[in-house]
Amino acid sequence: MNKYLSLSPEVQQALADNRPIVALESTIISHGMPYPQNVQTALRVEQTIRDHGATPATIAVIGGKLKAGCTPEEIEYLGHKGQAVTKASRRDLPVLIARGQDGATTVTTTMIIAAMAGIKVFATGGIGGVHRGAETTMDISADLEELAQTPVMVICAGAKSILDLGLTLEYLETKGVPVIGYGTDELPAFYTRKSGFGVDYRIDTPHELAAAFKAKLDMGLKGGMLVTNPIPEEYSMPADVINDAIDRAIAEANEKGIHGKQTTPFLLAKVKDLTGGDSLAANIQLVLNNARLAALTATALATL
């Protein structure tokens, strides 16, 4: 265990007892949703994981420590500070730690810290990927490289079509990352259940998800596994409404010259504004849905 890692007592106990744990990211709290819904959602997600028999580990960098398991006070702090917290990807960790600073962890850094702690399953909303126009901007999320090298199963609702979903799948294929559809043959597009793109495999039970990931770990094949879980039908959004909002958000980002790490948070906030909060309600429900599946899968994995 490295000296920068700090486990909550609850997570430490669960690890010692080989009980199921689910990692959760903190950029979704600070940059992905507005206050106070971000904090309320983060706490509800933790409760959902407990209700399904697993221990939640919300991950963040606080005062230069890599936290696996945040207190409700720390979650409130990250949510209230919002975009003022550094969005911390892989390249940010060394300096944040040396300076004793805070950082909200993306999918990338949540995977890194989960792996350091020995946590194998992680639930979130959406992952980063290859941005539209990446053939000229080269804007490709570090999340894809992390999935290629770090042994954590990431359970998400697919990716938003702020990204080029076809190129994102090509990238994952090149990197050898299995893309699984949970109960579906089609990659879900976060707010909607369909994208027009196929996944590599359809799996219908938490037990089979766990068995596939266990096989990957046993073989020592590096990298993770991406499980895409469609938003429940009753909460999904009309595709034309969401696609129109996304097109407008991207046009505005291009006009304003938004780039680098600001791009994703800018697009997420714009889409939310343009859809008048409906997208936030959908976002909350899909995260809860992923937390449930992650708790069941972590439970199955702990018995294998």
Q: Hey, what amino acid is at 167?
A: L
Contact status: 141 vs ligand PSU (CB under 6 A): yes
As given in the structure block, the two tokens for residue 157 are 């609702």
Among 160, 261, 270, 272, the active-site one is: 160
Look at strands 225-228 and 201-203 and give their pairing. Answer: unpaired
Question: What is the rounded CA–CA span in Å between residue 247 and residue 28?
Answer: 22
Nearest residue to 293 (alpha-carbon basis) of 201, 224, 214, 208: 208
Question: What is the rounded CA–CA span in Å between residue 161 and residue 183?
Answer: 21
Question: What is the rounded CA–CA span in Å between residue 6 and residue 14?
Answer: 14
Helices (H), the chain: 9-16, 27-30, 37-51, 72-81, 93-99, 107-117, 134-137, 142-149, 165-174, 206-219, 239-256, 263-274, 278-303
As given in the structure block, the two tokens for residue 18 are 């080989």
Residues in 217-256 at the binding interface with Mn ion, rule: CB under 5 A:
none
Residues in 136-155 at the binding interface with Mn ion, rule: CB under 5 A:
139
Q: Of 12-20, 52-60, 122-130, 220-228, which part binds ligand PSU (CB under 6 A)?
A: 122-130
Q: How far is the CB of 32 from ligand PSU (least distance, A)?
A: 3
Contact status: 164 vs Mn ion (CB under 5 A): no
Is omega for the bond preceding 36 within 30 degrees of 0, making it cis? yes
Q: Of 24-32, 93-101, 131-139, 175-183, which part binds Mn ion (CB under 5 A)?
A: 131-139
Q: Catalytic residue at 222?
A: no
Among 25, 74, 76, 146, the active-site one is: 25
Residue 38: contacted member of ligand PSU, Mn ion, none (CB under 5 to 8 Å, by partner type): none
Contact status: 32 vs ligand PSU (CB under 6 A): yes
Determine which residue in the list 15, 25, 103, 168 makes contact with ligand PSU, applying CB under 6 A. 25
Look at strands 65-68 and 55-62 and give their pairing. Answer: antiparallel
Q: 138-148: buried (b, 16+ CB within 10 Å) or exposed (e) per residue?
A: ebbbbbbbbbb
Q: Catalytic residue at 25?
A: yes
Q: How far is the CB of 153 from ligand PSU (least distance, A)?
A: 15
Q: Hey, what amino acid is at 297?
A: T
Residue 107: contacted member of ligand PSU, Mn ion, none (CB under 5 to 8 Å, by partner type): ligand PSU
Q: Site mask, ligand PSU, residues 193-232, x = CB under 6 A?
A: ----------------------------------------
Residue 143: contacted member of ligand PSU, Mn ion, none (CB under 5 to 8 Å, by partner type): ligand PSU
Q: Of 61-69, 74-82, 102-110, 201-209, which part binds ligand PSU (CB under 6 A)?
A: 102-110
Determine which residue in the list 128, 188, 206, 224 makes contact with ligand PSU, applying CB under 6 A. 128
The site for ligand PSU (CB under 6 A) is made up of 25, 27-28, 32, 106-108, 125-128, 141-143, 160, 190, 261, 264, 268
Residues marked active site are found at 25, 160
